[in-house]
Amino acid sequence: MATSDTRTQLLNAAEHLFAEHGYRGTSVRAITRLAGANLAAVGYHFGSKAELMAAVARRVIEPINTAQCAGLDELLARTPGPLVSELVEAFAGPLFDEMSAGDEAGARTSRLIVRILSDPAEEARGWTGPAEETVRERYLAAFARVLPGLPPEELWFRMRGILAVAAVDRLEVHQQPSPGCTSPVAGEAARRWAITFLTAAMSAPPTRT
C-alpha cells in the first residue's frame, strides 16, 4: 500500500472508530487493524493518536469552515448590516450541507461532530488551530455588531448551540427512529425550521444575572 493510501486509510478508519467509540474507546491497534496497516503507521504518519484525532477532526471541519467563511464574505459584500437570520444561515447552512441525509459520509460527519462536542477526552476537543479560531472570531464579531446587548460569553454559548442543534438534528436523520416516534425530517424543511429556531434563540434578550 502506497504511503498516501496508508495515510488516507488511517484517517478513514480513525474517523469511523472515533465517531462510534470516542477517543478513549478507540485504540491505535483497532485503527491500524481496520486500516490494514501495521501498528507503527500511526506514529509514522501522524506522530501520535492525539495528532491523528486532530487530523480527522480537521478533515471533517475544514470544508465547513471554508463554506462558512465564503458565506460570510458574500453576505458582508452585499450589506454591512446583515440580519441575524442571514448570519445564522451563513453559519449553520454549511453544517446541513456537509451532514446531508442519505449518504454514509454525512452520517459519519454528524456522529463525529456530536462526539467532538460531547467527548470528555481533551484530545477530542483540543484539535483546533488558527483557521478554526479565525472563523469563530469573524462570526463572533459579526453577531456582536447586530446583537450589541449580548455579553461575549453568552454570544459564544449561543453560537455553540447552533453547532449542537445542527449536529444532533442531522445525527437523528441517520439513525433508526424509535417505535412510535416521528421520523426526523431530512430535507429542506428541517433546514428552514432550524434557521427559524436558531434565529429566535440568537435574538433572545440577554439573560438577566
- 174 burial type by CB count under 10 A (0-12 exposed, 13-18 middle, 19+ buried): buried
For 86-98, write each residue's pLDDT tens digit: 999 999 999 888 7
Task: Please report which confidence band the pLDDT of residue 185 belongs to, taking 50, 70 and 90 as the band edges.
Answer: low
127 has pLDDT over 80: yes
Residue with the bigger pLDDT between 153 and 165: it is 153
Cell of residue 187, nine digits:
430535507
Which pLDDT belongs to residue 149?
92
pLDDT at residue 182 in the model: 47
More confident residue, 188 or 101: 188
Nearest to 72 by CA among 156, 134, 122: 134
pLDDT of residue 101: 57
Beta strands in 148-187 (DSSP E): none
The pTM is what?
Answer: 0.82
Please provide the average confidence, as pLDDT, over all residues in the chain: 87
Which one is predicted more confidently, 116 or 187?
116
Cell reading at 96: 446541513
Share of the chain above pLDDT 90, in %: 59
